[in-house]
Amino acid sequence: MRGPHNIWRLIRTGATFERTGAMAVALDAVEAPRRVRIAARILGWPFAWLGYKGDPALPPVTRAITALGPAYIKFGQILSTRPDVVGPELAEQLSMLQDRLPPFDQAQARRIVTEDLGQPVEALFSEFSEPVAAASIAQVHRARRADTGAEVAVKVLRPKVEAGFRRDIDAFHFAAGMIERLSPSSRRLRPQDVVSHFESVVTGELDLRREAANASEFAENTSGDAGMQVPRPHWHLSSRRVLTSDWAEGIPMGDVAALRAAGHDLPALGGRVLQLFLRHALRDGFFHADMHQGNLKVAANGDVVIYDFGIMGEIDEYTRRVYAEILMGFIRRDYMRVARVHFEAGYVPRDRDMTEFARALRAVGEPIFGADASRISMANLLAYLFEVTERFGMRTRTELILLQRTMVVVEGVARSLDSQINMWEVARPVVESYIRDNLGPRAAIHDLGRSAQVLARFAPLLPEFLERRMPELLRETPAEAAPRRSGFARGLVCGAAIALASALIGAWLA
């Protein structure tokens, strides 16, 4: 499917931005150089008539994005949380993409619920409202269960949304392949892998059963976290296209005026959102990866209510430790430590100069410290960081894409509540706590214990393995056997040492 027909789709994308007037607005927002503006005008103007018209009642950029489809809307949602990158006016226009898109007909929603749950809507719900929120993939109805009277949210997938995403992602794959062929230097950023990662994330979001599982696991992980609430799914009222969960009552986090009028402490809320995200990412390795204002509310008691678990991020324990070390290095302004961690983790090629890399990181980090937060341009900071990664040959880490993207989104949410927030100071206690628990003596004991468990699990297989392998080892010549036997001996010694250490630790704990 990823053939030249996608050229037409990409041409229509540019033409839509030109026809709706979004091209000029977007270039102004990011302060594009004059030559880029001229080139965009020359390339876009002749094809403007090919673009989608969109809804004339909407602002230009929002009009273009909604006309182009769900994949573009997802990208617009990210930009809506970054007024420091696209400007407050454009961010305000894009904020409607979070949960204020045009809904589809309620009759269609009722038909989908009936088909998927096997009973008429009236038999399942005593109340079933008109759509109260509509986003790129689904819309939400406020309802009341007929059996218990509990108030719930019923999320229904948009009709034919899967086909729209497949078409858009197909064009993205084609564009990524063209970029790699035409610009070999871009291959280190792995555009095709990035698109594949985005595709896997979106595919999971189109099955609401997976979202229910995400919500259930996230609720269990965070059950002891103060200052937050998670609506739980109602499994027997959920399916692939329908998700029923507890109703999330509260003021939308995007309505700053209403939050202020209700007497909520906005700087404290901003700091808590950032700390909650870091705690979930570092402690659990399982975090909400779509934490824009449309998925956050503030309850009457001040709790942060997190919902919509279609996109979740997951990182393994080793990566979490690396990420924490990097954050801690920046917090303590120890740029050599940050550089060393990058090299040890293989993020930077070993043939590069570590000292020079540390110096480049200093140029990224120092402007943050001691400066008025409102004067820091994240757009310029991200642009310079991109130059650093290009200069040192760093490749895109697809496993960190969601983590990095969510960090940008969450910081944008926090800044909307407190423009003076110091990200590093707020992050410090969470990162220090994680490092204390996972990179010190306690972590070493925990790692030894886990290694002992693995060794004990495979211990019954060890005699059979030795009986099978020893004759082969004995038949080898001394020259052939030396490297293998050396490694084998080291493995036995390490296994014995782990077993002994674990036994001593177990005895001490007992």
Q: List, for residues 288-342, the tens digit of each pLDDT value.
A: 988 888 899 999 999 999 999 988 888 888 888 887 887 778 778 898 988 898 8
pLDDT band at 122 (very low <50, low <70, confident <90, very high): very high
Query: Averaged over 360-369, what is the pLDDT?
Result: 78
pLDDT above 70 as % of the chain: 72
pLDDT for 84? 54
pLDDT band at 497 (very low <50, low <70, confident <90, very high): very low
User: In whole angstroms, how far apart are CA 61 and each of 16, 176, 222?
Assistant: 10, 23, 37
Q: Considering only residues 345 and 235, tell me which one the structure prediction assigns the higher pLDDT.
A: 235
| C-alpha span between 100 and 98 (Å, rounded) | 6
pLDDT band at 247 (very low <50, low <70, confident <90, very high): very high
pLDDT for 120? 95
Averaged pLDDT score across all residues of the chain: 78
pLDDT for 396? 60
| C-alpha span between 421 and 414 (Å, rounded) | 7
- For the cut 80, the answer to whether the pLDDT of residue 380 exceeds it is no
Please calculate the CA angle 184-388-76 and round it to the nearest 5 degrees: 75
pLDDT tens across 171-229, in order?
Answer: 778 877 777 776 676 666 567 776 776 777 777 778 899 999 999 999 999 999 999 99
Number of H-type helices and E-type strands within the chain: 24, 10
- For the cut 60, the answer to whether the pLDDT of residue 168 exceeds it is yes
Q: Where are the domains of the chain?
A: 5-99, 162-203, 249-439, 446-509
pLDDT tens across 395-411, in order?
Answer: 666 556 677 778 878 88
pLDDT for 188? 60
Long-range CB contacts for residues 361-365, cutoff 8 Å, separation at least 24: 361/330, 361/335, 361/388, 362/335, 363/388, 364/388, 365/330, 365/333, 365/335, 365/338
Quick one: CA torsion of 493, 494, 499, 500, rounded to 10 degrees? Answer: 70
- For the cut 70, the answer to whether the pLDDT of residue 493 exceeds it is no
| C-alpha span between 64 and 53 (Å, rounded) | 8
Q: Considering only residues 69 and 451, tell me which one the structure prediction assigns the higher pLDDT.
A: 69
- For the cut 70, the answer to whether the pLDDT of residue 487 exceeds it is no
Is 5 strand, coil or helix? helix
| C-alpha span between 110 and 108 (Å, rounded) | 5
User: In whole angstroms, how far apart are CA 142 and each of 91, 138, 152, 249, 293?
Assistant: 28, 14, 6, 11, 19
Residues 6+ away with beta carbon under 8 Å from 172: 71, 195, 198
Query: Averaged over 243-252, what is the pLDDT?
Result: 94
- For the cut 50, the answer to whether the pLDDT of residue 496 exceeds it is no
pLDDT for 130? 94
So which residues are the catalytic ones? 290
pLDDT above 90 as % of the chain: 27
| DSSP 8-class letter at 128 | E
Q: Considering only residues 82 and 459, tell me which one the structure prediction assigns the higher pLDDT.
A: 459
Q: Considering only residues 108 and 44, tell me which one the structure prediction assigns the higher pLDDT.
A: 108
pLDDT band at 379 (very low <50, low <70, confident <90, very high): very low
| DSSP 8-class letter at 347 | S
Query: Averaged over 105-126, what is the pLDDT?
Result: 95
Residues 6+ away with beta carbon under 8 Å from 490: none
Retrieve residue 128's tokens.
């079933």
Retrieve residue 81's tokens.
């949380």
Weakest-pLDDT range from 79-88, 166-175, 198-207, 377-386: 377-386
Residues 6+ away with beta carbon under 8 Å from 133: 99, 100, 139, 140, 294
- For the cut 60, the answer to whether the pLDDT of residue 499 exceeds it is no
Query: Averaged over 496-505, what is the pLDDT?
Result: 42
Contact 15, 44 (CB under 8 A): yes
Q: Considering only residues 287 and 472, tell me which one the structure prediction assigns the higher pLDDT.
A: 287
pLDDT for 330? 78
